[in-house]
Structure 1
């Protein structure tokens, strides 16, 4: 006989509209404009209204907190530095200057089309020869493919057609005006590439028997080369425009928080659709109109709710970090976590996270991500609580002043931070250093 069990489960079901609202909350202002326009195009019952709405989402907020439409200059949606030709087109024009047979030309063009966005060839020659035979029915030997690749490596920008960074740098050096220092640089890359890339100066000096000044000159020349020779032709590269979601101004000696809103912030339900809904007697038409009108009303309310939520969260952040916004000194930045904002606003942690994600704030000392204002707390031995950003700033200052011929190791950095009563582990130093985009001592060395 089959046993019957009764189980009680507690679960949370999120409706499609809730998911849609969370999506609206997360996207920055630059994406919001496009999202509203998309909704207007999809739903004929929704339209842009010419009437101005109340810009202050919370009447109990004082006059120093405002919202504003479009405080920035109009941002062009086109790419400023757009190349008319691709890397492939640029290279194929150059090979027309060579006296090539149709067979050789086909192979070279195939190789050009096989280059990646950086200009590298990431496939072995045997695989390329096999692919051509399968797809075009033409047989090429590896020697023919190799010779064709050498022709590509003579084209500009120099470095294209390389199969590794080492080869890319050597191609660029070989296309420079010949000199003793260029010959030396090529020799070092050929014979001591690993030691060169790891800045093992002692091994290179011992292996080649040259002076430190000449080795320093070699590093200076090679570090000016382009490791991504096709970067200027990368079609995926476009100019990024930062439009801040918040702006903090100094007006009459007081700080003012401005919340940027969409260009299309005043939404309304199409009056014609409302009239049709009342007049029509066809059930299918009435249902269609009702669905569209309900969707329009919900979206209009969702945008309004989004603005209020952003306002509410940023207001608390602004209050906590007010001193930092005046001085711009990171030592004045207070520790702040998502939970701190959640406690004051009563909003869920995930909501705070979505508000701070991908949003920018503009201040008198720069524009930066809102999430950069969040940091953990560190308690000194004297009881003082500071932001971990203050420790990162001190770490950056110590490294900036170090002797680059003998840079500090992470262990030594721990000791130096301890002098300022920041007692953290070597592992934490390495983590903070990575967040600051500072390389390890081995790669900070200079001759």
Structure 2
């Protein structure tokens, strides 16, 4: 075998994403809220940047209170005369005293444990169990592990678990779904053994709507089996629901407002919370100082970053505005008359009109919202494919087709639910020509079960 070294020249094309290009793409994807946070961070790290916040000086801040007028109002209404002392400590009358903190599930359970008429030792075991309850409200540790870790008997562990499971919300501290449902039934006082048998053996059949099989096994009529199923469905499978889990609510900040002004729909960009960025004049002077080359180099780097950031933010806003402008043009009937008039529209269609890449449109609308007369809507929800109508040149949006399917199912006879083939035939009567398989696909996408699982006895 002969081995030798060779030097070859090859020519190839590659797209290399520079750091600046990556930043530009990153900024385009950001929502209004994320842009605000990013700019605040950049202002702290880049001394060259200056921010100008939009503010109407003629107006008082909304949260500014005229305390003198407020006190006069209280005195006029005789609030100062009850059992209140005039020389109270300022902290006592602070409005922050009236703000309630979010209570977590574990805090709620711990409070109930403190009120129990049990020994400190029993309470400490119960508290240990509560600390091992997961985000769904289930006990995330076995009794054997508790016995071993706390060096207690199985009887004591079982007894303490019963105490925890007696707390509110009902079903808390269960080790699985079946136990969770049975705890709730016992609290409600249901003693019919058939309900407990269904939970132990036929829970999956309820989801499948197989009440005829359950009825045969329990030797009851189908209607009674269905009543049992309805009762079980009314129980809470996730007892922690409704309690604070540590995740803060994410608020939607719309990118723009679509308003009808003088008969035309206008786009008003929601950029009031985004500061206008400028270059600090002081640093422009430093560049002319040739004595300190190190400082000049540092300032030039920061200047380049600042200029590119300002350009990228402006470009982001222009891109989003252009996309929204085209969307409003295409979907004018939707903004005027509602969802039934939503036209088929794809990312490619918008990209081709604006002569930009499809991925740019995708990034620009990612997790972004607009505020309209119909409420705040996700921009992505306006994009939908279309199906041709029978004897018509116009396409109908898949979103409208799904709504039609939903309406047909909602108005069906529950004793004889519509099959996919029947839905297909009814849609054809409305000039919507789709196959039975497409009906099944759309039905599943909107979370509607098959006809056999929708049947009521």
TM-score (ref. length: structure 1): 0.82
Give the SS at the match of 1:261.
coil
Q: Could you tell me which residue of structure 2 aligns to residue 148 of structure 1? A: 160
Q: Does the C-alpha gap of structure 1 residues 129 and 11 become closer, same or farther in structure 2, counting only changes over 3 Å?
A: farther
Q: Could you tell me which residue of structure 1 aligns to residue 110 of structure 2? A: 92
> In the TM superposition, what whole-angstrom CA distance separates every residue of 1:328-381 from its partner, at most 9, and x where no partner exists?
142x22221111111110111110001121111222122221111111122234
Between 423-432 and 361-370, the greater mean CA deviation after superposition: 423-432
- Cα distance, 1:188 vs. partner? 3.8
- Cα distance, 1:247 vs. partner? 2.0
> How many pairs align?
411
Partner residue of 2:331 out of 312, 321, 326: 321
Give the SS at the match of 2:288.
helix
Q: Could you tell me which residue of structure 1 aligns to residue 380 of structure 2? A: 371
> Aligned equivalents of 2:162 and 2:438: distance in 1?
47
Q: Does 1:47 align with 2:50?
A: yes
Q: Which of structures 1 and 2 has the larger relative contact order (alpha carbons within 8 angstroms, sep 6+)?
A: 1
> Aligned equivalents of 2:159 and 2:33: distance in 1?
49
- Cα distance, 1:195 vs. partner? 2.7
Gaps of 5+ in 2: 56-61, 64-98
> Which of structures 1 and 2 has the bigger CA Rg?
2
Partner residue of 2:282 out of 260, 272, 278: 272
Q: Does 1:350 align with 2:368?
A: no
Q: Does the C-alpha gap of structure 1 residues 141 and 409 become closer, same or farther in structure 2, counting only changes over 3 Å?
A: farther
- Cα distance, 1:33 vs. partner? 1.5
Give the SS at the match of 2:50.
strand
> Aligned equivalents of 2:428 and 2:176: distance in 1?
42
- Cα distance, 1:437 vs. partner? 3.1
Q: How does 1:189-208 map to 2 (within 5 A)?
A: 189-208=199-218
TM-score (ref. length: structure 2): 0.81
Q: Does 1:296 align with 2:306?
A: yes
Q: Does the C-alpha gap of structure 1 residues 276 and 3 become closer, same or farther in structure 2, counting only changes over 3 Å?
A: closer
Partner residue of 2:440 out of 408, 430, 435: 430
> Aligned equivalents of 1:148 and 1:32: distance in 2?
51
- Cα distance, 1:171 vs. partner? 1.0
Give the SS at the match of 1:371.
helix
Partner residue of 1:120 out of 138, 148, 152: 138
Gaps of 5+ in 1: 53-72, 75-80, 133-137
- Cα distance, 1:272 vs. partner? 2.4
> In the TM superposition, what whole-angstrom CA distance separates every residue of 1:177-222 from its partner, at most 9, and x where no partner exists?
x256x76644543453333333322223333344566555544544
Give the SS at the match of 2:242.
helix
Q: How does 1:368-407 map to 2 (within 5 A)?
A: 368-384=377-393, 385-407=395-417
> Aligned equivalents of 1:122 and 1:203: distance in 2?
34
Q: Could you tell me which residue of structure 2 aligns to residue 26 of structure 1? A: 29
Q: Could you tell me which residue of structure 1 aligns to residue 253 of structure 2? A: 243
Q: Does the C-alpha gap of structure 1 residues 85 and 325 become closer, same or farther in structure 2, counting only changes over 3 Å?
A: closer
